[in-house]
Amino acid sequence: MRIPNSVKKALSAVFCMVAAIFLAGAGQSAFAQNGTLKVHGTVSCNGEAVIGASVIVNGSTEGTVTDMEGRYAITVSPNAVLTVSAIGYSTEIVEVAGRTVIDVELFEEALNLDDAVVVGYGVQKKVNLTGAVSSVSTEELKGKPIANVLEGLQGTTPGLVIQQGSSTPGGSPSINIRGYNTMNDNNPLVLIDGIEGSLANLNPADIDQISVLKDASSTAIYGSRASNGVILVTTKKGKEGSVEVAYNMTYGMQQATALPTVVDSWVYAELYNEAAVNSGRQVKFSAEQIAGYKNGGTNVKWINELYKEYAPQQSHNVSVTGGNENLSYMGSIGYLGQESLFKGPDFGYDRFNARLNVSHKMSDRLTVSITSSFIRNNIKDHAYWTEWIIEQCNRMPAIYEIKNPDGTYTYPSGSNSNSLERLEKGGYRRSINDDMSGTITAEYKIIDGLKAIVSGGGRILNNQTHENRYASENPLSGDKEDHISESFNRSIKLTANAMLSYDKAFAEKHNFGALIGYSYEGESANNFGTTRVTEDHKYDVLVGTVNGTEELPVSNFGGASDWSLYSGF
């Protein structure tokens, strides 16, 4: 029975947490006091590390996952049996038999060799592939309550690593193929219907197929831009038949599930006193104070106070498909809404998608296809760096209240800010991003097996960010400056391709194919921004506000760039 990917993803998350517990508490010797054994090793396939492989103790829920180097460590009994598995690979059963080092070799699962895979500027059967190429179908994404495609790709393809580095709504996970290749940008090249695009903005319901090109032979046609791999996305097209209207929606609740654990206030006081005694100093907390903490006194976990208990997330998608033997079409609109888990005034993320794909068979020889899409992202977040918000709460002991009884915010000794105040009263940052793209392709059949393909396309990005940070009204606060900034970015990318393709089958068993082409790609971009800072809620557009003899910071910036790339293949 095939386990659904959503279940595998959940299991992997559980295994990661269990592994962290084991690694944090493991002793220095191979044998623990209770007679267990610390086992470690690597999991690989054809000499390459398998990232995220599950290592589970049979007959229990204990387990771990391999790291970026394919390594694992786990504490088990000397006679335990381990099950090692990963999506896209074989499952291996290994007996510990008293060993402390166990390296495991996995094998890639067999492919359906008749399936077609999008590769470069064409399509091939898997049986004919010589490069490292993986294919992801829409079945892998169905039913997943995801905010973007990248989240749905987790665990679907060997060697494809997706890491969620931020819980901010609208945040995009990082993606790399077969590990980190450089100290700088490790992002692969992403092409959506032949146009460079963003997987984070794409509506999952519009996807027909995803191909991941991993090695040099499969990505060579794209040149140096493909040094970190290539992800090719084909969106859905119309089909012959009656009109079909489809609607799907998801609704769910988000919850913070892995917050740091902060000791109770009385435990902190006892440990503080113990540390003071050990260092020859006087204790700070009396027995009465500690008893007061235990009996209903202050015990506030600041990190927990920043988050809502739940935050809703929903998506809605409507699509229309239809056509006849000469004309087919697919149109869709979608909406995604995701509230932030942070407390504050309506922080969250809204995404609107619209797409229209049309194909018209003009004659027996000529077919013209058009793809077009529009995406708008609207993100509202707090006006500070999230690290500033979290860092203070992680080090704040539970002996301090976060708010006074009158509703004002507290500033414990050694602190000149309050994270909750920054969220609720500190202002906001709003970004509105528009992404418009489209292609037109003409395919002309010259003779049997030989066709000419000409295509052109473009993508326009408009990004606007407005930040308004408010100074605190509390004289004890260090947040004394009002800060306002506005920035704009705009880019236009154009592409053009001209190709001759020949594909002929001989004797029903042999195929001959050839492709020759020319490609152009160019982009022009410009940006502008301005920032003002003041302490009296007033801004001077030209020179800033003077505070005594000090002129507060004012800045204006802007820039422009152009590049183009001509290729033959």
pLDDT, one tens digit per residue, over 332-350 is 999 999 999 999 889 999 9
Average pLDDT of the chain to the nearest whole number: 82
Which residue did the predictor score with more confidence, 142 or 89? 89
Predicted pLDDT of residue 99 = 92
Predicted pLDDT of residue 240 = 82
Lowest mean pLDDT: which of 45-49, 233-237, 267-271, 457-461? 45-49
Predicted pLDDT of residue 8 = 39
Sequence-distant (6+) residues with CB within 8 A of 286 are none
Render 30-92 in DSSP notation, one character per residue. SB-TTS-EEEEEEEEETTEE-TT-EEEETTSS-EEE--TTSEEEEEE-TT-EEEEE-TTB--E
Lowest mean pLDDT: which of 16-30, 105-119, 289-303? 16-30
Sequence-distant (6+) residues with CB within 8 A of 523 are 491, 492, 493, 494, 561, 562, 563, 564
With a cut of 90, say whether residue 381 has pLDDT above it: yes
Predicted pLDDT of residue 204 = 86
Predicted pLDDT of residue 129 = 44
Largest CA distance in the chain: 95
